A = this chain, B = another copy of it.
Amino acid sequence: MSGLIDARMAELGITLPEAHPPLAAKIQPWARWGELLFISGAVPKLDGKPQFIGKVGREFGLAEGQAAARLSALNMLAHAKTALGGDLDAIKRILKINGFVNATPDFTEIPQVVNGASELFIDLFGEAGQHARTAVGVAVMPFDVAIEVEGIFVVDPAA
């Protein structure tokens, strides 16, 4: 299926990663309830393998942290696409995202890192990609990846 968001991704040269189930976790990558689609915390994975292993402020600088955030957001979209039977146009709103950054104690540019995810959503969805957000730095991360991002999307309940 090819829709408006697929076309926008092609225009921006964006390729979605494959949707892989969560690593070592007995959970679903998403859960739907009516118009709400909850996306489980997504780490930056390519071909199902975690990327950006390490802390922002030590192994990674700001630009790499932003790239990790963007890749997490792409994994969120990959899961949303599966949840919606392939139709990304069924996403009506990126409502809320939470970014948890694996950062050193002295690295406080947490919002700037999570902007890597927020900007992707705004680039792709325009006004509907505008969202509320919380961003914090955490001490330990699954698989020691640099970031984890979760979200709540509003979707067409018929999709």
Give the B-binding residues of A (Cβ under 8 A).
22-31, 33, 35, 38-41, 93, 95-96, 98, 100-101, 103-105, 107-112, 114-115, 118-119, 122, 130-144, 148, 150, 152, 154
Contacts and interface: CB of A to CB of B under 8 A. Distances in A.
B96 A132 contact: no
B150 A142 contact: no
A105 B8 CA distance: 40
A92 B127 CA distance: 27
A141 B136 contact: yes
A26 B118 contact: yes
Contacts of A35: 33
Nearest to A150: B134
